[in-house]
Amino acid sequence: KETTAAGPASADLPSVTARRTTSLSLPLTWTDLTFNTTPVENDTSVVEHDNTNTDRVIVKETGLYLISWSLVCDDEIQVRIRTNDTTVVAGPIQAGDPNDVNDVLVVNTLTRTVSLTANDFLTVQVQAATSAETLQAGAVFSVVRLRGSKGDAGPQGPPGTGGQTDTVAGSN
């Protein structure tokens, strides 16, 4: 868990960040990305990293969530987020250019806002777009429960000036 000099860090929004500290040689088929550390997890009654199925982040409260991933890889991989091992979250899948000649390390980041239901779980899946691709250590997957409350109505604004309205030619 993340800590500060004053003790454990916390935030107003329930959130979890799972991190992978090792590299991974990617297969040519979709594979769930596992995460072996959880640097941020501040309200497990709302959202948590599953310590048994370490590829999963579990949502425990219905609502709107901000989900994001960030990873460094050889540049020809595909990444997607799925809910409940069945539905792919809308968004780009390709990361990098499979038609380039040189392998370069590329930082890939994606953020989405998604409505989720209590007991949904999210997984990040990766696969090589070409052969011999490697995901570097340090991949991160974050999920934040977005919350807000409607405030009081503001004061009524001043009335309009009551000036002349414009007429469009030919509309009389």
More reliable by pLDDT, 59 or 79: 59
**Residue partners of 116: CB distance under 8 A and separation at least 6:** 59, 62, 63, 64, 65, 83, 122
The pLDDT assigned to 7 comes to 41
* DSSP conformation class of 139: -
Mean pLDDT in the chain? 82
Helix/strand/coil percent split, the chain, to 5: 0, 45, 55
Mean pLDDT of 95-114: 69
